[in-house]
Structure 1
């Protein structure tokens, strides 16, 4: 069987995480991509669902990502009581 090379651009961190997840299953990226391609042919569609979240969900996801990247710009609390005092003040 003749093969061809497929190149894909991917975030470095994402690739490292996917490589680790696949390795834990005894797979590599090439095997996973080939399996996905075969499923696309078999099912006639992507083997997973793609969707766009509602605007509230997307905003919450953007906010969570900002908090993750820049925790210094967001308050943190030692207790729930301290947080509630700040919220209610």
Structure 2
């Protein structure tokens, strides 16, 4: 599994949870989160999950700042907003 595999899968599905990605690629959600974070930073994915009370308020699905309770949040949902990899008809 590499970043391009995750990017392709997200582009195909349109919307996917962190847990779905972990299941699809048979790996730990935290390992996937690092790669998903790269896609979020590049503007290809956006998080649809609300930041729980006490989070940093940046609107992400979790962070390593003072949001320690978010670290195990594997139900985060992401939406593909990057260019579609589907062929045009």
- The answer to whether TM tops 0.5 is no
Instruction: Identify, as 1 or 2, the structure richer in helix.
Output: 1
Please state which structure has a larger fraction of its residues in strand: 2
Alignment TM-score, normalising by the size of structure 1 = 0.26
Larger radius of gyration: 1
Higher relative contact order (CA 8 A, sep 6+): 2
